[in-house]
Amino acid sequence: MPESDTSLEAREVVTTRAPLIKLGQHVEDTWVLSRDTETLPESRPAIVPLALWQAHSADAELAPWLPSDTELTPALVATLEQAALVAIDFPAFTDGRGYTLARLLRERFGYAGEIRAIGDVLIDQLYYMSRCGFDALALREDQDIEAALRALTAFSVSYQPAVDLHEPLFARRLREHRTG
């Protein structure tokens, strides 16, 4: 890709949306992300900080993003159910709290809506994210979408159960031995 195209694309991304993978497909993102904790963005639909969303949770065109240190409680999750999606922030890709948050939302609280990874979302973490229950991955703008889609299918086998798989490998082996 010529350099001018890259910079054009980069500018466009800043003013609009991050590359989005949803349910394993590259899709057009309709949501904008705002990190402004004080005021709502003009554009809709918009993902806004949790506290701001809580003040406007009746607005169906708004959805919350959770900081990585959020402590999930039944009361909080009950309010999150109203939103069209829940985003979890990765302030740095090395902050692993979001993986636990996503699993708790899915497995503990039975949340079935979209869980979107936002922030420092990079190719090499996507596989684990998807195992933990993220079904929407808003990549950092510089990430290559082809490599990202490839990374999602890096492994065909897992030892542990997670959101994507309920049977640990030791149980699967026993089952297969039994049935021959």
Which residue in the block uniquely carries the two structure tokens 């039994």?
178
For 24: left if phi > 0, alpha if psi spans -120 to 50, otherwise beta; the answer is left
Q: Does 10 bind other proteins (CB under 8 A)?
A: no
d(CA 58, CA 82): 8
Sorted by sequence, the CB contacts under 8 Å of residue 117 that are 6+ apart come out as 87, 88, 90, 98, 102, 129, 134, 136, 137, 138
Among 96, 113, 149, 152, indicate the residue that binds other proteins (CB under 8 A).
96
Span of 19-27, 33-41, 75-83, 126-134 interacting with other proteins by CB under 8 A: 126-134
95 sits near other proteins (criterion: CB under 8 A): yes
Q: What is the C-alpha to C-alpha distance for residues 56 and 85, in angstroms, rounded to an integer?
A: 15
Phi and psi at 56, nearest 5°, equal -135, 35
Per-residue tokens: 144:
């290559």
Near other proteins by CB under 8 A, which window of 36-44, 59-67, 79-87, 146-154?
146-154
Beta carbon nearer to other proteins, 87 or 132: 132
* Residue from 122, 136, 137, 148 in contact with other proteins (CB under 8 A): 122
The tokens for 88 are 């979890």
Q: Quick check: 147 binds other proteins (CB under 8 A)? A: yes
Encoded tokens for 136: 């929407």
List binders of other proteins among 12-71 (CB under 8 A).
71
Minimum CB distance to other proteins smaller for 14 or for 159:
159
Among residues 108, 112, 141, 145, the one that binds other proteins under rule CB under 8 A: 108
When asked if residue 159 is in the footprint of other proteins (CB under 8 A), the reply is yes
Within positions 66 to 85, which residues make up the interface with other proteins, using CB under 8 A? Answer: 71
Beta strands in 59-175 (DSSP E): 62-66, 85-90, 114-119, 136-138
Nearest CA to 49 among 20, 107, 88?
A: 88
With contacts defined by CB under 8 A, name the span among 3-11, 20-28, 75-83, 147-155 that binds other proteins: 147-155
Catalog residues that contact other proteins under the rule CB under 8 A: 71, 93-97, 99-100, 103, 108, 122-125, 127-129, 131-132, 144, 147, 150-151, 154-162, 166-171, 173-174, 177
